[in-house]
């Protein structure tokens, strides 16, 4: 997947987890938690949905890399480079 495809996938997952959030104004460089009302369970839902959709395993120690859209895409890009969009 390309970086743009990964971003679209994350937006799709966020839309499922937080359907009332306006994702069109999301600042890719800011923390998801600063911009959205996400709790720790919502964050785990993102990780679990990535695992379910793409079989991407994210160790708990790496969760810090998923704080913002930019850091999430940077972290996932090498892991998902050979993954087709679902």
**Which pLDDT score, from 0 to 100, does residue 38 have?**
87
pLDDT of residue 16 exceeding 60, the answer is yes
Output the domain CATH number for residue 11: 1.10.1200.10
Residue 65 lies in a domain: yes
Question: Domain of 11?
Answer: 3-18+26-79
Report percent pLDDT > 70 for the chain. Answer: 97
Q: Per the domain annotation, does 84 fall within a domain?
A: no
* Each residue's pLDDT tens digit, 49-70: 999 999 999 999 999 999 999 9
> Is 33 a domain residue?
yes
Q: Is residue 13 part of a domain?
A: yes
Q: How many domains does the chain have?
A: 1
* Pairwise CA distance, residues 49 & 13, whole Å: 7
Note whether 45 and 17 are within 8 A (CB).
yes
The answer as to whether 11 is a domain residue is yes
């Amino acid at each position: 997947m390309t970086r743009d495809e990964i971003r679209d996938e994350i937006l799709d997952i966020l839309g499922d987890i937080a359907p009332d959030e306006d994702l069109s104004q999301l600042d890719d460089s800011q923390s998801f938690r600063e911009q959205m009302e996400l709790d720790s369970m919502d964050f785990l839902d993102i990780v679990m949905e990535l695992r379910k959709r793409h079989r991407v395993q994210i160790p708990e120690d790496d969760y810090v890399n998923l704080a913002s859209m930019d850091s999430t895409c940077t972290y996932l890009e090498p892991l998902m480079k050979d993954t087709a969009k679902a």
